[in-house]
Structure 1
């Protein structure tokens, strides 16, 4: 699975990303600075600079990753969107499965 999650700053993205990998909730976290988000929150349109994390995990580990990510994140309602991976390089997919075993 690929999980998308935005963070307010690089420090939080790195801290939580490292935690997820160390605990094997995720095999890999790519941190991409410079995302601009435009959204509605509590009745007003907001525009924020955010950090996008692209998290690779297994379906087996997602439930734990989801709970942990929501608990550690500073946002009241963090974006946690899981996308299934339809196909990919067999070796890479096996590596993800073996490193996200929570």
Structure 2
């Protein structure tokens, strides 16, 4: 049986994260995107140590959508090099898994509007 997939990424603010998240859900590449505001990041970038306010986004999807999901995420992401970490899920509640699979089913049309 197909396994769920969590994708971790960050955005500069909640508005951008929600906009990209909605696009991914509408395309049925994700069943849900959780946006967690209020994060402060310290990171290495182009030879310097930087700090920034960011938000985390956790994307719930399925393993077979990993590549198209990453491509769609990167094409909409404002960062030059967005963080896209695929976090495999070893187990899920059967009802949760069924919901994720149903909402990301390849035979379902994208949401309109």
TM-score (norm 2): 0.87
Matched residue count: 102
Query: Which of 60, 71, 75 matches 1:71?
Result: 75
> Max radius of gyration: which structure?
2
Query: Which of 38, 43, 46 matches 1:39?
Result: 43
Structure 1: segments with no counterpart, 5+ residues: none
Displacement of 1:9 in angstroms is 1.1
Aligned: 1:85 with 2:89: yes
Q: Distance in 2 between matches of 1:99 and 1:62?
A: 15
- The superposition leaves residues 36-89 of structure 1 with CA deviations (integer Å, 9 ceiling, x where unpaired) of 111100111011110100100001212111000011101000000011110121
List structure 1 runs of 4+ shifted beyond 4 angstroms: none
* RMSD over equivalenced CA pairs, Å: 0.9
TM-score (norm 1): 0.96
Displacement of 1:101 in angstroms is 2.9
